[in-house]
Amino acid sequence: MSDFRIASRYAKALFDRALETSSLEVVKKDIDHLKVLVSESKEFVLFLQSPLYKKGSKQDALKKLFASANQLTQNVFHLMTEKFRESMIPELGVAFLRMYNNHNQIVEVTVQSAVALDKKTIEDIESYVKAQSNAKTIQLTQNIKPSLIGGLTIEFGGKIYDNTVSNQLRKIKKELQLA
C-alpha cells in the first residue's frame, strides 16, 4: 500500500473524530502549522524520515513542536510514531486539508500569468471557478512567470486551462512540424 494511502487513512480517522467532537477548526489550525513546518524546514521532514533517530526522540520532538495542538492531533502523531509511520505525517497533512476543503466546499486555484492580475480579472476567475465547481470559497494563489509571454493558466480540481501565448506558440510550432 502506498504511503499516501496509509497517511490518508490516518487523516480520515483524524478528520472524522474532529468532526464528531466539534474540534475540526482547531485541528485544521494544527495541520496548517504542520504545513508551515514542512514547507519551511527540510530538516523537519528529514528528521521524520531518518531511521537514525529513535522513536522516543521523534515523539518528544513532535510533542514539543505541537505542545499547543489539540489532543486529537497529538494522539494521531503519537500513534503514527508508535507504528513507525512518522515519515507519513506530512502526507497526512495534505490528505487532511483535502478532506477539510472538500467538506467546506473550498477550491484551491493556482493562476499563472506573465504579469500581476488586476482585481477585476481575479474576481472574474473566481466567479468562473465557482460556476464550474460549485464551490462556496476560492483560495487563489497567483504565480507570476514572465516566460509565459502573455495570457494565463488556471489550475483547479485536477484540470488545467492554458491560454498562454507560449502554449499557443508551442501548438503552432507543432503544427508546422507536422505539415
Residue 158 gets the label, from left (phi > 0), alpha (psi -120 to 50) or beta, of left
67 and 122, same domain (yes or no): no
59 and 138, same domain (yes or no): no
18 and 73, same domain (yes or no): yes
122 and 95, same domain (yes or no): no
CB 108 within 8 A of CB 154: no
159 and 87, same domain (yes or no): no
Range of the domain at 116: 105-178
- 17-29 pLDDT tens trace: 999 999 999 999 9
Q: What is the DSSP string of 29-40?
A: HHHHHHHHHHHH
pLDDT exceeding 90 applies to what percent of the chain?
72
Q: Whole-number mean pLDDT of the chain?
A: 92
Q: Domain ends where: 102, 135, 158?
A: 102
Number of domains in the chain: 2
10 and 37, same domain (yes or no): yes
